[in-house]
Chains A and B, each alone.
Chain A
């Protein structure tokens, strides 16, 4: 079967046009307790293939915890996370990555030791396809060199996509916080993900940068990559997402299209405040 760049088959694309898109990720009654505090309290939601879904809520609502549960960094006390026919709850983070899940981090986590460059960081995103081994490196040198050259070309393409190709040889610490977030985005896209989790990608960006980041997101979506986005910037959330789920104190408060979320009195009271309906209308 012919596969597009995001690993989506032609059939799936055709299907998406006539029917509501298939479910890419299904979280079922996820519960996580930290020392008696319920960070997640029986949260269920779905992310449809090809959609941008936003996860919003006040600080401490459990948004990052939710991403860490999906990503396998945290094991939930109970509940399930279905993705690609697997229950992620039983899998280790590195195996989950091989299923086609990539992410960025709220507090930027770029590799910085041993003078690692921005390009090196993006290249680590290609681990799934390179799968470096001792024997492969030492004994199959020409194949390793070919794969490396192809990966470098693709990494530069990713850096061009986020507008940072000039920073390729720089060390990530020399970049602004906003640029570091974009390097993280490039690194996650390098992994050819089916689903990418973005944890507050727009924090630290100014208005103009948010605008261009929104354009990036719609291009990513256009390539068939599904996005689950944790974000506080309502202009971004209401502008790009197909669907929003609201968490408050670990519980799901509401779920629906941005317009419905904006006018939901519960959400307005808990999080958005009365000015959202005006500011966020698309």
Chain B
């Protein structure tokens, strides 16, 4: 049993692969929703690296989501660059912005750090709105082509689903490899106590900047995927509200776990699909469910999953 449990991830991969032909029914709508879930999973996991491990709060993560989306959108729609190089350009730009802003911003703590990251989000959105000739301003950027790779187009939602979820798996596996290594331990030491960490040779500012750059790069990937999926993007998609949504996903799922934000993003994005039937009460119901989860599950959804798993293992062990 325990040996089988080690291969649970194969089961997860199988579920991802089999979703479109089974539950998804090859429907563009159902696969499209899961594309959004995947994009938000990437965002929430990228924020988990920064907040759950390095302990640095960011209330402006949508800034990098925006940079990725607009880099992809502008380069492909206006300059005819193919999607992959455009995506890479976005990642490099986001990483560059994070690297340049990292030192001064991450030297701040708590409320001040929250304010500075929030300001970064506002600045990016203001710039996008202002640079009208390049970005389309407040009325948005349209006609972004579907993602294609070496001539193969991911135009249909089912195809794009597979592409987005490959990126999700890549981001989750990379993040897991990092946090389960001595690198992750170093981040936890920094979050726990910078004074003690530096006494053992840890250059805290340098490590914080590295995680910030990595986190920005992942968020930028999500932005590119979003732009190609929507084909139309506007500054409103990347406001502070989006940043707060990512934060809620992280805490809902359980921060500092990588799997937590995956669950959190899935829960928050799929909840409206269930509650929309209640029409006028939809927002109210969403709010109540959120409050209940945050109040009564301090370790998030992932805390529930681990508790159930540990209970199962214990009862199986007894038999």
Q: Are B178 and A116 in contact, with the CB atoms below 8 A?
A: no
Instruction: Give the segment of B2-10, B20-28, B79-87, B195-203 that binds chain A.
Output: B195-203
Residues of B within 8 A of A128 (CB): 200-201
B181 within 8 A of A: yes
CA distance A120 to B53 in the complex (A): 14
Taken residue by residue from 211 to 251, chain B's Cβ proximity to chain A (1 for < 8 Å, 0 otherwise) reads as: 00010000000000000000000000000000000000000
Q: Are A134 and B201 in contact, with the CB atoms below 8 A?
A: no
CA distance A93 to B189 in the complex (A): 15
A48 within 8 A of B: no
B30 within 8 A of A: no
User: In residues 251-266 of chain B, which contact A (Cβ within 8 Å)?
Assistant: 256
CA distance A114 to B201 in the complex (A): 21
Taken residue by residue from 135 to 164, chain A's Cβ proximity to chain B (1 for < 8 Å, 0 otherwise) reads as: 011100100100110010000000000000
User: In residues 179-207 of chain A, which contact B (Cβ within 8 Å)?
Assistant: 187, 191
A105 and B196 in contact, given A120-B185, A123-B182, A137-B177 (Cβ under 8 angstroms): yes
Smallest beta-carbon distance B219→chain A, Å: 16
Q: Are A124 and B256 in contact, with the CB atoms below 8 A?
A: no
Residues of A within 8 A of B53 (CB): 114
A77 within 8 A of B: no
Q: Are A114 and B256 in contact, with the CB atoms below 8 A?
A: yes
A113 within 8 A of B: yes
B52 within 8 A of A: yes
Q: Are B195 and A109 in contact, with the CB atoms below 8 A?
A: yes
B60 within 8 A of A: no
B276 within 8 A of A: no
A94 and B181 in contact, given A105-B196, A111-B192, A127-B186 (Cβ under 8 angstroms): no
Residues of A within 8 A of B193 (CB): 109-111
Residues of B within 8 A of A84 (CB): none
Residues of B within 8 A of A102 (CB): 199-200
Q: Are A134 and B183 in contact, with the CB atoms below 8 A?
A: yes
Which residue of the partner chain, among A93, A127, A132, contacts B181 with CB atoms under 8 Å? A132
Which residue of the partner chain, among A113, A133, A134, contacts B191 with CB atoms under 8 Å? A113
Q: Are B188 and A97 in contact, with the CB atoms below 8 A?
A: no
Q: Are A113 and B202 in contact, with the CB atoms below 8 A?
A: no
A97 and B199 in contact, given A113-B191, A114-B53 (Cβ under 8 angstroms): yes
Q: Are A134 and B192 in contact, with the CB atoms below 8 A?
A: no
Q: Are A97 and B181 in contact, with the CB atoms below 8 A?
A: no
Residues of A within 8 A of B200 (CB): 94, 97, 102, 124-125, 127-128, 187, 191
Residues of B within 8 A of A92 (CB): 198, 203
B90 within 8 A of A: no
B145 within 8 A of A: no
CA distance A124 to B202 in the complex (A): 9
B133 within 8 A of A: no
Smallest beta-carbon distance A184→chain B, Å: 9
Taken residue by residue from 24 to 67, chain B's Cβ proximity to chain A (1 for < 8 Å, 0 otherwise) reads as: 00000000000000000000000000001101000000000000
CA distance A73 to B197 in the complex (A): 12
CA distance A109 to B183 in the complex (A): 20
Q: Are B182 and A130 in contact, with the CB atoms below 8 A?
A: yes
Residues of A within 8 A of B203 (CB): 92, 94
Chain B residue nearest to A115 in the complex (CB): B256
Taken residue by residue from 263 to 290, chain B's Cβ proximity to chain A (1 for < 8 Å, 0 otherwise) reads as: 0000000000000000000000000000
Taken residue by residue from 81 to 116, chain A's Cβ proximity to chain B (1 for < 8 Å, 0 otherwise) reads as: 000000000001111011000110100011111101
A241 within 8 A of B: no
B159 within 8 A of A: no
Chain A residue nearest to B179 in the complex (CB): A114
Taken residue by residue from 200 to 229, chain A's Cβ proximity to chain B (1 for < 8 Å, 0 otherwise) reads as: 000000000000000000000000000000
Smallest beta-carbon distance B182→chain A, Å: 4
Q: Are B256 and A144 in contact, with the CB atoms below 8 A?
A: no
B210 within 8 A of A: yes
B174 within 8 A of A: yes
Q: Are A94 and B192 in contact, with the CB atoms below 8 A?
A: no
CA distance A113 to B197 in the complex (A): 13
Smallest beta-carbon distance B89→chain A, Å: 20
B158 within 8 A of A: no
B71 within 8 A of A: no
B204 within 8 A of A: yes
Q: Are A124 and B186 in contact, with the CB atoms below 8 A?
A: yes
Which residue of the partner chain, among B52, B174, B191, contacts A138 with CB atoms under 8 Å? B174
A71 within 8 A of B: yes
CA distance A93 to B199 in the complex (A): 6
Q: A105-B196, A148-B181 are in contact. List 16 more A-B contacts (CB 8 A).
A: A93-B198, A94-B198, A102-B200, A110-B196, A111-B192, A111-B197, A116-B185, A123-B182, A124-B200, A124-B202, A127-B182, A128-B200, A132-B181, A132-B185, A137-B182, A138-B174
A-B contact pairs, 18 of them (CB 8 A): A92-B203, A94-B203, A103-B199, A109-B196, A111-B196, A113-B188, A113-B191, A116-B188, A116-B192, A120-B185, A124-B185, A125-B200, A127-B186, A127-B200, A128-B201, A133-B183, A134-B178, A138-B177
Q: Closest 5 A-B residue pairs measured CB to CB?
A: A97-B201, A111-B192, A109-B196, A132-B183, A132-B182
